[in-house]
C-alpha cells in the first residue's frame, strides 16, 4: 500500500476512534432503546416542546450512528479493494479505492469536528448581532459586508436567516442589525465568531487612496429552548415602542410598531422591528431571555466567559480577527493564528476553517483544564 494511501487509512481510523469516544458508541444501542421507550409513552405530546426535543435528539443519534457505520464500512471495503487490486495488478481498482478513501477522510474530519459541538446549547438556533464601530460610513459598510458574509455562510449550511431588526447607516451600510439563524448546531458553529472584527483596505469612499481601518462587533447567543425557564420580572424591564428606521422599501414600518426592551439589572437592550407590535414584543422577549441564558452559560463555561468579558469597544486591542485587503491579502484569527490569503472566499462565507480551529483550541483547553483538575 502506498504511503499516501496509508496516510488516508490512518487518518480515517483516528477519526473513527475519536468519533466513537465522543458518541460513546458502546452505549448507543442502549440509548436508542431509551429514546424508543420515551417516544412511545402515551403522554409524550402533552409537552410538545419536550417531545420535539426528544425526537431531534433521537434523530441526531441515528444520523451519527449511520455516518459512523458508513465511514467504518467504507474504510474496510476500500482497504480490501486495494489489497485485491495490488494482488491482481489492477491499477484501476486501486485508483478508485484510493479516491474513495480520500473522500472518506474529508467526511470523517467533518463529522469529527461536528462531534465537538456538544456544549449545553450548541444544538440550538442562534441570534447574531452586528454593530458598526467608530468610523462612520467606513464602519457601516464593513458591518454590511459582515452581514453578507454570515448570510452566505448560513446559506451553505442550509440554515434559515431571519432579520430581527436593522438600523441603516447614514450614507450606506448598517449601523446595527440582529438576525435569527435556525438550523442544526447553529449556535455551536457561530459562537466562536463573537468579538471585534477589523478590516484594512483602500477606502472606496475617499479619493486619497489611503488605507482605512474599520471595526465592527459580532455577538452571538443561543435561542432559548421553550422548556428552559428564565425568570424576567416586570419591574426589571422597560418596554418602548418606536418607528423603525430601516433601510427603506417594503420592510419599512408605517406605524410605531418596533419594540425595544431594556433589562435594568443586566443593562441588556434588545429590539425587534420587522413585524407587528405584538409579534415584536414576543421576538424581543425571546431575545432578552436568550441573552440572560447566555450569561448563565458563561458562568459555567470559562472559555466563552473570557471571550465575552473581553468584549470591550469595537476598536484597537479588542479584535479577534483581521481582514487585510491592502497592501496584501490575508485573513487571520488572532486567537488561533489560523490564516488564509483567500480573502474573497472568506468574505463569501467560507468560515468553517476558522470555526474549526477555534473549536479545536477550545476543546484542547478544556481537556488540559480537566487533566489539571484530576491531578
pLDDT for the residue 154: 97
**Burial track 131-160 (b if 16+ CB lie within 10 A, e otherwise):** bbbebbbbbbbbbbbbbebbbebbeebebe
The grid coordinates of residue 207 equal 479619493
Most confident of 13-27, 182-196, 298-312: 182-196
* pLDDT of res. 334: 94
In a domain, 41, yes or no: yes
Q: Which residue, 114, 141, 172, sits at the end of a domain? A: 114
Of the pLDDT bands very low, low, confident and very high (cuts 50, 70, 90), residue 254 is: very low
252 in the same domain as 355: yes
Same domain, 76 and 208: no
147 shares its domain with 254: yes
Residue 60 sits in which domain range?
3-114
The mean pLDDT of 270-279, rounded to a whole number, is 78
One domain for residues 290 and 253: yes
- Point out the domain boundary residue: 114, 145, 174: 114
> Which candidate, 175, 181, 84, 162, places its Cα nearest to that of 130?
175
Pair 183, 319 in one domain: yes
Residue 367 has pLDDT above 70, yes or no: no
Quick one: average pLDDT of 179-195? 92
* Domain end residue (candidates: 79, 114, 149): 114
| C-beta of residue 204 within 8 angstroms of C-beta of residue 137 | no
18-32, 100-114, 234-248: least confident range: 234-248
- For residue 365, pLDDT over 80 is answered with no
Tell me which residue has cell 465511514: 71
Check if the beta carbon of residue 185 is closer than 8 Å to that of residue 120.
no
Q: What angle do CA 246, 223, 366 make, to 5 degrees?
A: 125
Q: Write the pLDDT tens digit of every residue in 109-159.
A: 888 877 778 777 888 899 999 999 977 899 999 999 999 999 999 999 999
Question: Do 44 and 148 belong together in one domain?
Answer: no
pLDDT digits (tens, 9 = 90+) for 22-41: 788 889 989 999 999 998 99
Q: Does residue 185 sit in the same domain as residue 88?
A: no
Residues 329 and 292 in one domain: yes
Count of domains for the chain: 2
Residue 351 lies in a domain: yes
Residues 294 and 357 in one domain: yes
Q: Where residue 46 sits, what CATH number does that domain have?
A: 1.20.58.410
Q: Are residues 216 and 86 in the same domain?
A: no
3 vs 173: which has the higher pLDDT: 173
Is there a domain that residue 373 lies in? no
Q: How much of the chain exceeds pLDDT 90, in percent?
A: 47
State whether 46 and 182 are in the same domain: no
pLDDT digits (tens, 9 = 90+) for 331-342: 999 999 999 999
Q: Are residues 257 and 134 in the same domain?
A: yes
Is residue 119 assigned to a domain? no
- Backbone angles phi and psi of 352, in degrees to 5: -60, -35
The model carries a pTM of 0.67
Mean pLDDT of the chain: 84
The CATH number of residue 341's host domain is 3.30.70.1660
Amino acid at each position: 500500500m502506498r504511503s499516501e494511501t496509508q496516510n488516508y487509512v490512518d487518518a480515517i481510523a483516528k477519526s473513527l476512534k475519536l468519533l466513537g469516544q465522543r458518541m460513546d458508541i458502546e452505549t448507543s444501542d442502549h440509548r436508542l432503546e431509551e429514546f424508543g421507550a420515551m417516544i412511545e409513552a402515551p403522554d409524550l405530546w402533552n409537552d410538545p416542546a419536550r417531545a420535539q426535543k426528544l425526537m431531534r435528539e433521537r434523530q441526531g443519534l441515528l444520523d451519527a450512528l449511520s455516518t459512523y457505520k458508513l465511514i467504518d464500512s467504507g474504510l474496510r471495503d476500500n482497504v480490501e479493494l486495494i489489497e485485491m487490486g495490488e494482488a491482481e495488478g489492477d491499477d484501476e481498482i486501486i485508483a478508485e479505492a484510493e479516491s474513495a478513501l480520500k473522500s472518506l477522510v474529508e467526511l470523517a474530519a467533518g463529522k469529527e469536528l461536528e462531534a465537538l459541538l456538544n456544549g449545553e446549547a450548541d444544538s440550538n438556533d442562534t441570534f447574531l448581532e452586528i454593530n458598526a464601530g467608530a468610523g462612520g460610513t467606513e464602519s457601516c459598510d464593513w458591518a454590511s459586508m459582515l452581514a453578507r458574509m454570515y448570510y452566505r455562510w448560513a446559506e451553505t449550511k442550509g440554515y434559515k436567516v431571519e432579520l430581527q431588526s436593522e438600523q441603516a447607516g447614514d450614507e450606506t451600510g448598517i449601523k446595527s442589525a440582529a438576525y435569527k439563524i435556525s438550523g442544526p448546531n447553529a449556535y455551536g458553529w457561530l459562537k466562536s465568531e463573537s468579538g471585534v472584527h477589523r478590516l484594512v483596505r483602500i477606502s472606496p469612499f475617499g479619493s486619497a487612496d489611503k488605507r482605512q481601518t474599520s471595526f465592527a462587533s459580532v455577538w452571538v447567543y443561543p435561542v432559548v429552548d421553550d422548556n428552559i425557564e428564565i425568570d424576567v420580572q416586570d419591574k426589571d424591564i422597560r418596554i418602548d415602542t418606536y418607528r423603525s428606521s430601516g433601510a427603506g422599501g417594503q420592510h419599512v414600518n408605517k406605524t410605531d410598531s418596533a419594540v425595544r426592551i431594556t433589562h435594568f439589572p443586566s443593562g441588556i437592550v434588545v429590539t425587534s422591528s420587522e413585524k407587528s407590535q405584538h409579534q415584536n414584543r414576543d421576538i424581543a422577549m425571546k431575545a432578552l431571555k436568550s441573552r440572560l441564558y447566555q450569561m448563565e452559560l458563561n458562568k459555567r463555561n470559562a472559555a466563552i466567559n473570557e471571550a465575552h468579558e473581553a468584549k470591550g469597544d469595537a476598536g484597537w486591542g479588542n479584535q479577534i480577527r483581521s481582514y487585510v485587503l491592502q497592501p496584501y491579502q490575508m485573513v487571520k484569527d488572532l486567537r488561533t493564528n489560523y490564516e488564509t490569503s483567500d480573502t474573497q472566499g472568506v468574505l463569501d462565507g467560507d468560515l468553517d476553517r476558522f470555526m474549526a480551529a477555534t473549536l479545536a483550541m477550545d476543546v484542547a483547553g478544556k481537556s488540559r483544564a480537566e487533566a489539571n483538575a484530576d491531578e
